[in-house]
Structure 1
């Protein structure tokens, strides 16, 4: 009988969902939850945090085997680090240059997390996603963040 790794992954994914959901719920309480008839600004995040924690509990409870900590490979750490760095890049670039450059830089950094991506594919994907983000967020939703800024 072959042992599957899905049980470990499910357990840790569920645990991560519970932790993030609990954090979202605790943070949303500072915004004022209100009631069902008069919802405060923290109501929606609180509801999502609770739902996320419940889903995480269900995922972790249905994992088929006990979780065991394993040391991640260098490739996995590189990928995770680049994805986190892409979020930091967006946060740093967006206020100074706007949505479009921040999106482009963020996608480029995150795409290099997969070593199978070629430079041409990365820049093509970044260009397509940047246009998509412009259409959805700037043009469609009219977000406050300017598309281009030179601060």
Structure 2
């Protein structure tokens, strides 16, 4: 018998775990009602939806064979490193530089991107992040390094 689709099973289980965590954590806020939503309404509903979607991913994965899993430590290092770089550079370097640094680091895990491709990807994502968070959501995040 072939191995089950472990990737989808693990992904669905993570979604269920995060959904249940959100639902439990949001219990500290008032739920409200559909007509007058409290601060706990959205996290509880969204957590429930996430858990259901996770279950919908797991169920068919139990019935089908999956590919052998490969674990790439280099990719894990670059992606987690990118998150850490973004976290520590956002305030001192601003949104644009921190986003570009994180994207450049994360994209370094994939060999098929050229340096030019990585820079274009970083610039595009930084522009998109700026439009979403500063223009669209009007979040008060420093855009450039201090002194600019």
2:81 to 85, 92, 101: 85
Contact 1:17 1:55 in 2 (8 A): yes
Residue 49 of structure 1 and its aligned partner are, at CA, apart by: 0.8
Task: Look up the match of 1:115.
Answer: 111
Query: What TM-score, normalized by structure 2, do the two folds share?
Result: 0.82
Once the 2 structures are TM-superposed, how far is the Cα of residue 149 of structure 1 from its aligned partner?
4.1
1:45 to 43, 46, 70: 43
Structure-to-structure mapping, 1:51-62, within 5 angstroms: 51-62=49-60
Q: Contact 2:4 / 2:65 at 8 angstroms: preserved in 1?
A: no
Unaligned stretches of 5+ in structure 1?
A: none
Residue 145 (structure 1) aligned with residue 129 (structure 2) = no
Residue 130 of structure 2 corresponds to residue 129 of structure 1: no
Q: 2:32 aligns with which of 28, 31, 34?
A: 34
Paired with 1:48 and 1:60, the residues of 2 have a C-alpha distance of 18
Alignment of 1:101 onto 2:97? yes
1:77-108 superposed Cα distances (whole Å, 9 cap, x missing partner): 21123212222222211122221111111111
Offset at residue 8 of structure 1 (A): 2.1
The number of residue pairs the alignment matches comes to: 145
Aligned to 1:14: 12
Contact 1:138 1:146 in 2 (8 A): no
How far did 1:65 drift? 4.4
Q: So what's the TM-score if we normalise by structure 1?
A: 0.81
